[in-house]
């Protein structure tokens, strides 16, 4: 049996040697064949040089180097497309996904009860409180408004059988949200809890605004609820406007008071205009996603690899 370890890398020169050493020790003791599939996502530091050095001294190491930065989702998809293993894992190079969990995950899969063993953090020690709060709210919202089954604290770190990986590769959508894809395709998944682990070296590439954008992309990719919200806003504002017209007419007929107050009128117009722009913005997000899909651009372009038989454009 062959285990493929997909490792997306973006400016991970400090963490890569540590990750490689620890993962090699764990895999060597698992009594199975293994391969590393490092995906260099357009790093600007010495990440590619380190990967080349690892590939020269270890035949288990394969690296794919993108022509530019395409993002982690594209890197994972490139890994899924080129992985040859009967079992495939996705891990980060910063050691926040502990390699020591792999033997336990592998044993659970080989028992035949599950198709995937996924990890989830039981705490968020070391994270800013506001970021943790928003993360919890995101998981709560997306599970309510979409078909994706995403557990709070879910990581991309998981070990899957070949059948599940093939299903992921078949979902060739350009706008990818892997956490949602993992849940949408189904399969029997066991969630393995573990204590949060801080980065072993380097700095995180995810700031608050990148995570917020990632969350919005996930909601739009797997739910039509925002469009329904825009529709309800429109109907609500129409009803409110109709009631206001009746009130003004009745007031004029009964009391004979003229309608006064330009300030209140301006506020109402501004509010309604804001609601309209908000709803148009929601629809614009869906149109933009559709626009990117119909152009059918490749998810990634591989500029360099130490393996000849790789899918270079997908």
Residue 12: Cβ within 10 Å count: 28
Residue 313 lies in a domain: no
Note the pLDDT of residue 146. 67
* Predicted pLDDT at 13: 87
Instruction: Indicate if 9 and 73 belong to the same structural domain.
Output: yes
Total number of domains in the chain: 2
Instruction: Answer yes or no: is 182 within a domain.
Output: yes
pLDDT exceeds cutoff 90 at 93: no
Is residue 68's pLDDT more than 80? yes
SS (H, E, C) 193-242: EECCCCCCCCCCCCCHHHHHHHHHHHHHHHCCHHHHHHHHHHHHHHHHHH
Residues 229 and 197 in one domain: no
Cα–Cα distance, 120 to 155 (Å, whole number)? 6
Both 11 and 117 in a single domain? yes
83, part of any domain: yes
CATH number at residue 92: 3.90.550.10
| Length, in residues, of the chain | 314
Question: CA-CA distance, 23 to 204, in Å (whole number)?
Answer: 20
Better-scored residue on pLDDT, 197 or 28 = 28
What lies within 8 Å, CB to CB, of 197 at 6+ separation is 95, 96, 97, 98
Whole-number pLDDT of residue 269: 75
pLDDT tens-place string over residues 128-182: 677 677 777 776 776 676 666 677 777 888 899 999 999 998 888 888 888 888 8
Same domain, 198 and 247: no
pLDDT at 180: 80
Residue range 187-226, pLDDT digits in tens? 888 888 887 776 666 566 666 666 677 677 777 776 667 7
* pLDDT score for 7: 92
Residues 112 and 74 reside in one and the same domain: yes
What are the residues whose beta carbons fall under 8 Å from the beta carbon of 295, sequence distance 6 or more?
Answer: 174
Residue 217 near residue 177, CB atoms below 8 Å: yes
Q: Is 311 part of any domain?
A: no
* Helix residue spans in 67-189 (DSSP H): 72-82, 102-110, 129-145, 162-170, 178-184
**Are 232 and 287 in a shared domain?**
yes
Q: How far apart are CA 47 and CA 16, in angstroms?
A: 8
Containing structural domain, residue 6 = 2-223+298-305
């Amino acid at each position: 049996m062959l285990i493929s370890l997909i490792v997306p890398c973006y400016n991970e020169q400090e963490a890569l040697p540590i990750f490689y050493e620890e993962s090699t020790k764990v895999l060597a003791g698992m009594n199975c064949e293994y391969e590393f599939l490092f995906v260099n996502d357009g790093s600007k530091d010495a990440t590619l040089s380190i990967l080349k050095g690892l590939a020269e001294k270890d035949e288990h190491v394969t690296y794919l180097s993108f022509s530019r930065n395409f993002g982690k989702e594209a890197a994972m998809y490139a890994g899924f497309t080129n992985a040859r293993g009967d079992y495939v894992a996705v891990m980060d190079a910063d050691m926040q996904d502990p390699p020591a969990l792999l033997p336990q995950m592998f044993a659970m899969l080989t028992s035949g009860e599950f198709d995937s063993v996924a990890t989830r953090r039981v705490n968020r020690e070391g994270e800013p409180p506001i970021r943790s709060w928003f993360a919890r709210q995101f998981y709560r919202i997306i599970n309510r408004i979409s078909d994706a089954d995403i557990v709070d604290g879910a990581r991309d770190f998981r070990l899957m059988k070949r059948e599940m990986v093939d299903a992921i590769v078949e979902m060739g959508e350009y706008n990818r949200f892997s956490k949602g894809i993992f849940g949408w395709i189904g399969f029997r998944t066991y969630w393995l809890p573990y204590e949060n682990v801080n980065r072993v070296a380097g700095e995180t590439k995810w700031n608050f605004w990148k995570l917020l954008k990632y969350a919005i992309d996930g909601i739009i990719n797997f739910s039509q609820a925002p469009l329904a919200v825009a529709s309800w806003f429109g109907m609500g504002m129409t009803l409110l406007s109709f009631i206001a017209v009746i009130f003004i007419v009745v007031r004029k007929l009964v009391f004979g008071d003229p309608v006064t107050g330009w300030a209140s009128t301006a506020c109402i117009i501004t509010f309604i205009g804001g609601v309209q722009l908000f709803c148009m913005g929601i629809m614009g997000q869906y149109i933009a996603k559709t626009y990117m899909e119909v152009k059918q651009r490749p998810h990634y372009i591989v500029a360099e690899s130490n393996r000849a038989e790789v899918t270079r454009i997908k």
